Structure 1
Amino acid sequence: MVQRQVPKPADIFELLQFKKFEFNGRKRRLASALTIHDLRRIAKRRTPAAAFDYTDGAADDELSLRRARQAFEDIEFHPSILRDVSHVDTTAQILGGPSALPFGIAPTGFTRLMQTEGEVAGAGAAGAAGIPFTLSTLGTASIETVKEANPHGRNWFQLYVMNQRHISFGLVERAAAAGFDTLFFTVDTPIAGARLRDKRNGFSIPPQISVRTIANAIPRPWWWWDFITTPKLEFASLSSTGGTVGELLNAAMDPSINFDDLAEIRKVWPHKIAIKGVQNVEDAKKLTDLGVDAIVLSNHGGRQLDRAPVPFHLLPDVVREVGDDVEVIIDTGIMNGADIVASIAMGAKFTLVGRAYLYGLMAGGREGVDRMIEILSEQIVRTMKLLQVTTLDELEPKHVTQLSRFADLRARGVGERH
């Protein structure tokens, strides 16, 4: 029989410990976010559909993005036991310098359309966390503004080669003069992918007001208030705007770029160079032979060629071929610190996060980006401790199994040519 007693009032009052209410709505929202998916849900509530879908969406049927995320979900970790993990070191060495965490902020275009603080919030948060920040050619803050926001941290510049090449090369020279230490040359965007969400939403640069956008803005007045009361959007590389993102990219990009252009770019860039958008082993080997400092396995977040290779699936083959001669970085689909740990274990030297950054930005500006970095950092540390490794160098392929849902088909030769 369970012995019962009349509860004492003092015992009851001891249980009634009320949490102090946070009156700051932004801090309260961000504190409730425990994952990047939580930040995404907050961002969706607070951002007009067209701007949110520009970030959240991908090309065509969005298969590349879904497969990239599924690839990280389809992994199995293999932890060690009885290791002292009272302290773990998350420091990475990448492109000639340190990063406090094994990820940096990826380049994103039109960022102030997502939330008015834009790249200034991203660069400031990255600097505070000791990780690199990458500014896009299609950014909405100038090179000099980003440098001012992150004066002592690592700033990287992402390059699109435009039809008006003097604009592209002029930006490269300005980035070098401002002390940016690495150039990311993106090679997967001769034209824009089919961003169908943007077309369906009528998303344009700058935003066009219609009955639909007004209806969508009514529950989100703060976004429009920020938009109309802050400086006009300016783009370092676009001399004119007006049209969908795809139309602007198609008008601006140069589809004739080739390996000769890489040599031309290296003449005007004096520091480290990484090639972003590599999607097969052969190109990785050729770029390694040409002496680039890093390659980024990326399908542009699924925003260009749908059904493109999944970078995480491609990673082991590329590392096996060139990993001793060039630094391999990976992006696309990363939504958890465990995804980053798995990538490092499979041979990546570093990772980049784009959507996760923008979800944080849309959820809470600079504080939201800080929270995004904090969430991923906590997940990285926790995953490393549970795997019982103390440094990134201790992570090895033995710690991860890729449970690819396509493995059985490949084993049976389905889809292969004979």
Structure 2
Amino acid sequence: MVERRIPSVHDLAPLMQFKKPEFNARTRRLAAATSIADLRTIAKRVTPKAPFDYTDGAAEGEISLTRARQAFQDIEFHPSVLRDVSKVDTTREVLGKTSAMPFGIAPTGFTRMMQTEGERAGATAAEAAGIPFTLSTMGTTSIEDVAAAAPNGRNWFQLYMWTDRDRSLALVDRAQAAGYDTLMVTVDTPVGGARLRDVKNGFSIPPALTPKTVINALPRPAWWINFLTTEPLAFASLDRWSGTVAALIDTMFDPTVGPDEVRFIREQWKGKLVVKGIQSVADARLAVELGADAIVLSNHGGRQLDRAPIPFHLLPSVVREVGNEVEIHLDTGIMNGADIVASVALGARFTLIGRAYLYGLMAGGRQGVDRTIEILSGEIRRTMKLLGVASLDELEPRHVTQLARLVPYAQPAADAVASSAR
């Protein structure tokens, strides 16, 4: 028989601890978010449909984005045991300077449309975390204002080559004068991708007040109050634009850009040069020959060519081809710190987050971006410890297996030539 007794006050006291209530709704919901997926859920609840879908969506059938995320799910880790992982070192030398984490914030357009704190929130959160922040040509805070908001941060500038070359070069000069140390030239946008969610939503700058948008805004008054009571949208590259996003993109992107333009930018820019949008081994080699200090394997977050190559799958081949000559960075599909660890293990020097950052921004402004960085950083540290590695340099290809799901019938011709030349 189990002997029973009446519990004493001394026994009950440890069980009767009540958590101090948090009355700030934003702080409360961010504290409850344990993953980037949780931040996305919050973001969707508090953001009108058009700006949320602009962030969340991709081109056409959104196959590229789905495959990129699936690629990270289709990995198998191989941990080592009996290792001292009481402390882990997550720092990374990236383009000549130290980053506290192996990821930075990717360039994103129309960011203050997502949440009014916009690029200032991203830049200051990155500054506090000791990681790079990249301002987009299509950003909604000026080059100078971002530099002023995060004077001690590591600020990079992303450039689209416009049809108006003088305006493109003026942006390069402004970034250099403002102290940006890295220029990221995006080369996968001869034209804008077909982002069908934006077409269906009539997404425009500034947002149009239609009966549909008004109805959608009613349960999200905070977003509209913030939007209407803060400074009007302005872009890093132009003062004002009235029209659809697609029309703006068609005005800005230049289908004639070739290697000569990148060579010219290399001659003009005194800092580090990154070429973003590489999707083949042959183009990785070309970027190296053009003088890039780093390349970003990226299909633009699935927002340009649908069914484009998966950057994570491409990574090992590019590392074999040019890994000893240039830093290899990677984006698209990253939603967990484990995705970043797997990328580093397979040879990526650095990674960039776009949607994960914007989900945090929409969920809670600067606090939300801080929470994004906190979640990813915790996942990175935990994954490293469970793999049995104490530093990023200890990560090797043996730690990760890419499980096959999409197996090509034949290797693309250009990559086959590059492979045979090794």
Q: Say yes or no: TM over 0.5.
A: yes
Whole-angstrom distance in 1 between the partners of 2:412 and 2:138 = 39
Whole-angstrom distance in 1 between the partners of 2:226 and 2:155 = 26
Matched, 1:29 2:29: yes
| Cα distance, 1:166 vs structure 2 | 1.1
Please name the residue that 2:183 is paired with. 183
The answer to whether the 8 Å contact 2:233/2:240 transfers is no
Matched to 1:347, the amino acid is G
Distance of aligned partners of 1:416 and 1:293 in 2 relative to their CA distance in 1, 3 Å threshold: closer
Distance of aligned partners of 1:77 and 1:6 in 2 relative to their CA distance in 1, 3 Å threshold: same
Moved more, 246-255 or 132-141: 246-255
Please name the residue that 1:364 is paired with. 364
Whole-angstrom distance in 1 between the partners of 2:302 and 2:2 = 60
| Cα distance, 1:265 vs structure 2 | 1.0
Q: Secondary structure of the residue that 1:185 maps to in structure 2?
A: strand
Matched to 2:380, the amino acid is I
Matched to 2:402, the amino acid is Q
Whole-angstrom distance in 1 between the partners of 2:48 and 2:100 = 34
The answer to whether the 8 Å contact 2:106/2:352 transfers is yes
The answer to whether the 8 Å contact 1:299/1:309 transfers is yes
Identical-pair percentage: 66
| Cα distance, 1:238 vs structure 2 | 3.4
Please name the residue that 1:347 is paired with. 347
Please name the residue that 1:155 is paired with. 155
Matched to 1:401, the amino acid is T
Please name the residue that 1:102 is paired with. 102
Q: Secondary structure of the residue that 1:66 maps to in structure 2?
A: helix
Matched, 1:404 2:400: no
Unaligned ranges ≥5, structure 1: none
Whole-angstrom distance in 2 between the partners of 1:346 and 1:3 = 59
Please name the residue that 2:85 is paired with. 85
Q: Secondary structure of the residue that 1:76 maps to in structure 2?
A: strand
Deviations along 1:113-132, one digit per CA (max 9) or x if unpaired, are 00000000000000000000
Whole-angstrom distance in 2 between the partners of 1:298 and 1:416 = 18
| Cα distance, 1:297 vs structure 2 | 0.1
Distance of aligned partners of 1:238 and 1:404 in 2 relative to their CA distance in 1, 3 Å threshold: farther
| Cα distance, 1:414 vs structure 2 | 7.3
Whole-angstrom distance in 2 between the partners of 1:416 and 1:23 = 57
Deviations along 1:260-311, one digit per CA (max 9) or x if unpaired, are 1011112221111010000000010122123310000000000000000000
Please name the residue that 2:327 is paired with. 327
Matched to 1:79, the amino acid is P
Whole-angstrom distance in 2 between the partners of 1:27 and 1:240 = 34
Give the TM-score normalised by the residue count of structure 1. Answer: 0.96
Matched, 1:389 2:389: yes
Q: Secondary structure of the residue that 1:146 maps to in structure 2?
A: helix
Whole-angstrom distance in 2 between the partners of 1:173 and 1:307 = 36
- List structure 1 runs of 4+ shifted beyond 6 angstroms: 414-417
Please name the residue that 1:204 is paired with. 204
Deviations along 1:309-348, one digit per CA (max 9) or x if unpaired, are 0000000000011000000000000000000000000000
Q: CA RMSD in A?
A: 1.4
Please name the residue that 1:195 is paired with. 195
Q: Secondary structure of the residue that 2:390 maps to in structure 1?
A: coil
Deviations along 1:13-66, one digit per CA (max 9) or x if unpaired, are 431221110011111011001100011000000100001000000000000000
Please name the residue that 2:416 is paired with. none
Whole-angstrom distance in 1 between the partners of 2:297 and 2:412 = 23
Whole-angstrom distance in 2 between the partners of 1:236 and 1:148 = 14
The answer to whether the 8 Å contact 2:234/2:240 transfers is no
Please name the residue that 1:51 is paired with. 51
Please name the residue that 2:258 is paired with. 258
Deviations along 1:330-371, one digit per CA (max 9) or x if unpaired, are 000000000000000000000000000100000000011011
| Cα distance, 1:239 vs structure 2 | 5.4
| Cα distance, 1:240 vs structure 2 | 4.8
Please name the residue that 1:74 is paired with. 74
The answer to whether the 8 Å contact 2:263/2:290 transfers is no
| Cα distance, 1:9 vs structure 2 | 4.7
Q: Secondary structure of the residue that 1:277 maps to in structure 2?
A: strand
Matched to 1:189, the amino acid is T
Please name the residue that 2:285 is paired with. 285
Matched, 1:233 2:233: yes
Whole-angstrom distance in 1 between the partners of 2:169 and 2:5 = 81
| Cα distance, 1:415 vs structure 2 | 9.3
Q: Secondary structure of the residue that 1:184 maps to in structure 2?
A: strand
Number of residue pairs aligned between Structure 1 and Structure 2: 413
Q: Secondary structure of the residue that 2:179 maps to in structure 1?
A: coil
Matched to 2:349, the amino acid is K
Whole-angstrom distance in 1 between the partners of 2:412 and 2:249 = 34
The answer to whether the 8 Å contact 2:263/2:291 transfers is no
Whole-angstrom distance in 2 between the partners of 1:308 and 1:317 = 16
Unaligned ranges ≥5, structure 2: 414-422
1:136-147 → structure 2 map (5 Å cutoff): 136-147=136-147
Deviations along 1:164-194, one digit per CA (max 9) or x if unpaired, are 1111110101101111010000000111000
Deviations along 1:81-123, one digit per CA (max 9) or x if unpaired, are 1111111100001111110000000000010000000000000
The answer to whether the 8 Å contact 1:238/1:252 transfers is no
Distance of aligned partners of 1:21 and 1:239 in 2 relative to their CA distance in 1, 3 Å threshold: closer
Give the TM-score normalised by the residue count of structure 2. Answer: 0.95
| Cα distance, 1:241 vs structure 2 | 1.9
Please name the residue that 1:304 is paired with. 304
The answer to whether the 8 Å contact 1:198/1:244 transfers is no
Whole-angstrom distance in 1 between the partners of 2:411 and 2:199 = 32
Matched to 1:363, the amino acid is A
Distance of aligned partners of 1:170 and 1:72 in 2 relative to their CA distance in 1, 3 Å threshold: same
